[in-house]
Amino acid sequence: MTPDLTQLNEALKIMHDLTAHSLSIWNFYWIVCLAVLGFTLTDKGGHLQHPLARILLSVGFLAFAIGNGYVLHRAAVRHEMSHRLLESVSPGPMKAQSDPAAAEKARVQLQTRQQIATIARQTRPSTACEVLWMHIGLSVIILSLIWIVPWIRARYPESAASPAPAKKPRRLQRPRHRFR
């Protein structure tokens, strides 16, 4: 049994909504990753030199990443199911209709099914496994940088790496004589 057009249109709408939802979750994840990375890279005060600070930042990021990964995985599973429903659409042969209005309706339905089948063939959402591994990989990179950047800073201090500061320009002095 093939789904009717109302179900297919609803599945197409759900697929579109799930795509928008997944993208907003990914965008939020990227914002948090960039914020953690920015905090790690611009730590001029040396706050991350203390291991407890790095542990707290790592645990906080890890908790966020696990929650975000779970939501992304669920969205990807729903996205795959919706795509499978669209792939199940087969245009099928058009039945002969004696009534011209029924024939026109059947022709429009066939055309719509063909369009939906074409959309389903041309698009393929990322599988839940692909989304999960991408998320895990990016999280491991961010967690590694939380620990590597302070280590590099401690090993190679900026004072040795940067050139000596330039001398301040001499300030012009006022003339010392007074007008009477």
Task: Please list the pLDDT of the chain residue by residue as tens digits (180 residues).
Answer: 455 667 667 777 877 788 888 889 999 999 999 999 998 888 877 788 888 989 999 999 999 999 999 999 998 888 788 777 766 665 555 455 566 776 666 666 667 667 766 766 666 777 888 889 999 999 999 999 999 988 888 888 765 445 556 666 666 666 666 665
- Return the number of other C-beta atoms located less than 10 Å from residue 37's C-beta: 15
Q: What's the whole-model pTM score?
A: 0.66
Q: What is the spatial distance between Cα 153 and Cα 148, in angstroms, rounded to a whole number?
A: 9
pLDDT, position 151 = 85
pLDDT, position 122 = 65
**8 close to 88: Cβ distance less than 8 angstroms:** no
83 phi and psi angles, rounded to 5 deg: -70, -40
**143 close to 58: Cβ distance less than 8 angstroms:** yes
Domain boundaries, given as residue ranges, for the chain = 5-160
CA distances from 58 to 61, 113, 126, 173 (A): 5, 50, 28, 54
pLDDT, position 161 = 47
Q: What is the spatial distance between Cα 119 and Cα 85, in angstroms, rounded to a whole number?
A: 12
**3-state helix/strand/coil string of 92-120:** CCCCCCCCHHHHHHHHHHHHHHHHHHHHH
pLDDT, position 36 = 93
Nearest to 94 by CA among 82, 85, 107, 105: 107
**102 close to 74: Cβ distance less than 8 angstroms:** no
Q: What is the spatial distance between Cα 20 and Cα 35, in angstroms, rounded to a whole number?
A: 23
**32 close to 64: Cβ distance less than 8 angstroms:** yes
Rounded to whole angstroms, the maximal C-alpha distance in the chain is 118
